[in-house]
Amino acid sequence: MPYLPLSRKTLSSPERVFHAPLVAGCAAVAALLVCLAGPSSAQTAQAPADLKANIGNLASIDYPTRMNAARAVRRVDAAVAVPALRDAVANHSDQFVRYRAFVLLSSFSDRQTGDLVRTLLKDRNDRLREASYKWLEEHPDPAMTATLLSALQTEQAEFVRPALVGALAALGDNPQVQKALVTETTRGVDFFRGAVIDSVGRHKGAYAADAIAGVAVLDGPLQDDAILALGRIGGPRARTVLTGFKSAPAALNLTIRAAQCLAGAPCEQTIAFLVEVSTAANASPATLRAAAAAFAALVANGDQAATAALVGLGARGGAVRQQAALGFAAAAVRNPAHVIAWLGAAPEPTRNNAIDLLKEGFEDLEEDFGKEQFYAVTRASYWKVPEGSPGRTLTAALIQRLDF
């Protein structure tokens, strides 16, 4: 199966709540507009004490308490929230609070976050290091190249090293980085190698095409990762390898067809085939997972038809819906702008169903940082469109219904 760092099951799933139709949610949306508009003077005066309590509740074992605390922190004025969050990251006694405070801080676009990140790369908190490297992937800084290359020699934490590799892949124009990542595709534990191949592929690292092609033609646990990476990289070398498979197991064939589509081949037949195998009466769990991963790659690449097809699969219920939700959510955190734009153009019933599907998928993704970035893009989109516009209504509903 393709490398999916986003699919670790959450320890406690949110409670499901009733959602009114998008256009009819006047009371909820109106309340949200007040929240997004900023705190009143009375709220601002009370914010420090309330804020400290809410930051402490970010580690609550009770999901509603945790969720409501995060929502409250997001709605505090940045001038008050940002210093409090920075202090919590640096000094709070609860390690999970430190991590969650950093995740929330990442959506405020504070200029000093980069300085804070530099102090966290050797922190004993694995989650904090992981989120810090993910932040660096989103905000690549060539000045950090030597630091990241050095960390590549020492960082071995299971979920931290893939994030470190992602941060390096974002600096793929550097020859030293290219050499290091090409080397990492061919040595070490398969899980780590898969992370390298995935990251290089997402950043379209053509410098590693030959090395990844060598992995793609070998049977084994990394074959799916390498095939999808080649599709994302594209180019003559990738297309030659992807068209060279004469026969392949059924699940691998789905990955190959999706990769060919990513590399520039027509997608219509591939999308139809993915739907067909997903809805077959005898579809195995492995086939459903492979089809969802293939769809996730296409949707993250901005394919409109694939997005519609994946959401359509979600309407079927059962195991198909579960995999469609996970694939849709994984694509959304990779490409928030595409998913939000697609939702805005979709008919109302489709849009409402898609948001419900996205919510279900988010519940199964222990990908706090990625989901927070989706929120940040949603919030930015909210402010870019006029008050009362369909775009404003959509983004307000997304924030409300996804528990942001």
Look up the pTM and report it: 0.88
Cβ pair 100, 131 in contact under 8 A: no
Q: Indicate the pLDDT class of residue 47, thresholds 50, 70 and 90.
A: low
Are 169 and 256 in the same domain?
no
Q: What is the mean pLDDT of residues 246-256?
A: 92
Query: What is the C-alpha separation between 46 and 194, in angstroms, rounded?
Result: 48
Cβ pair 265, 331 in contact under 8 A: no
Q: What is the mean pLDDT of residues 242-252?
A: 91
**pLDDT in the model for residue 247:** 85
Query: What is the C-alpha separation between 359 and 171, in angstroms, rounded?
Result: 32
Query: What is the C-alpha separation between 167 and 237, in angstroms, rounded?
Result: 25
Instruction: Domain count for the chain, please give it.
Output: 3
**pLDDT in the model for residue 34:** 42
Q: Indicate the pLDDT class of residue 176, thresholds 50, 70 and 90.
A: very high
Query: What is the C-alpha separation between 115 and 327, in angstroms, rounded?
Result: 34
Give the residue with greater pLDDT, 124 vs 32. Answer: 124
CATH of the domain at 207: 1.25.10.10
Are 322 and 299 in the same domain?
yes
Q: Domain for residue 8, yes or no?
A: no
pLDDT tens digit string along 324-377? 999 999 999 999 999 999 999 999 999 999 999 999 999 998 899 999 999 999
Return the closest-CA partner of residue 171 out of 203, 126, 124. Answer: 203
Q: Which domain holds residue 177?
A: 123-244
Q: Indicate the pLDDT class of residue 2, thresholds 50, 70 and 90.
A: low
Are 59 and 137 in the same domain?
no
226 alpha-carbon distance from chain centroid:
20
Are 196 and 306 in the same domain?
no
Final residue in a domain of this structure, among 86, 110, 134: 110
Cβ pair 127, 102 in contact under 8 A: no
**pLDDT in the model for residue 400:** 94
Q: Domain for residue 328, yes or no?
A: yes
Q: Domain for residue 162, yes or no?
A: yes
Examine the pLDDT at 27 and tell me if it is beyond 80: no
**pLDDT in the model for residue 246:** 84
Amino acid, res. 245: F
Cβ pair 340, 373 in contact under 8 A: no
pLDDT tens digit string along 68-106? 999 999 999 999 999 999 999 999 999 999 999 999 999
Final residue in a domain of this structure, among 81, 110, 139: 110
SS3 string, 18-54, reads CCCCCCCCHHHHHHHHHHHHCCCHHHHHHHHHHHHHH
Token couple for 24: 């009819």
Are 205 and 294 in the same domain?
no
Examine the pLDDT at 212 and tell me if it is beyond 50: yes
Are 255 and 370 in the same domain?
yes
Total Cβ atoms within 10 A of residue 372: 22
Examine the pLDDT at 11 and tell me if it is beyond 60: no
Q: What is the mean pLDDT of residues 229-235?
A: 97
Query: What is the C-alpha separation between 231 and 301, in angstroms, rounded?
Result: 11
**pLDDT in the model for residue 366:** 85
**pLDDT in the model for residue 7:** 39
Amino acid, res. 172: G
Are 220 and 260 in the same domain?
no
Are 382 and 280 in the same domain?
yes
Are 281 and 240 in the same domain?
no
Are 259 and 238 in the same domain?
no
Q: Domain for residue 208, yes or no?
A: yes
CB proximity list for 20: less than 8 A, separation 6 or greater: 28
Q: Domain for residue 12, yes or no?
A: no
Q: What is the mean pLDDT of residues 386-395?
A: 95
Final residue in a domain of this structure, among 110, 134, 161: 110
Examine the pLDDT at 24 and tell me if it is beyond 70: no
Q: What is the mean pLDDT of residues 297-318?
A: 97
Are 223 and 289 in the same domain?
no
Return the closest-CA partner of residue 297 out of 340, 359, 233, 351. Answer: 233
Q: For the chain, give the percent of residues with pLDDT over 70.
A: 88
Where do the DSSP E strands lie in 291-397?
none
Q: Domain for residue 375, yes or no?
A: yes
Examine the pLDDT at 391 and tell me if it is beyond 80: yes
Q: Domain for residue 6, yes or no?
A: no
Give the residue with greater pLDDT, 172 vs 41. Answer: 172
CB proximity list for 86: less than 8 A, separation 6 or greater: 105, 110, 112, 116
Q: What is the mean pLDDT of residues 190-206?
A: 97
Amino acid, res. 248: A
Examine the pLDDT at 109 and tell me if it is beyond 70: yes
User: What's the mean pLDDT when you consider all of the chain?
Assistant: 89
Are 77 and 160 in the same domain?
no
Would you tell me the crossing angle of helices 285-300 and 250-262 to the nearest 10 degrees? Answer: 10
Q: What is the mean pLDDT of residues 144-169?
A: 97
- Helix residue ranges, H only, 75-141: 78-91, 95-106, 113-120, 126-138
Q: What is the mean pLDDT of residues 275-283?
A: 95
Examine the pLDDT at 219 and tell me if it is beyond 80: yes
Where do the DSSP E strands lie in 339-399?
none
Coil/strand/helix, residue 1: coil
CB proximity list for 340: less than 8 A, separation 6 or greater: 377, 378, 381, 394, 395, 398
CATH of the domain at 78: 1.20.930
Examine the pLDDT at 151 and tell me if it is beyond 60: yes
- For 227, which DSSP code? H
Q: Domain for residue 214, yes or no?
A: yes
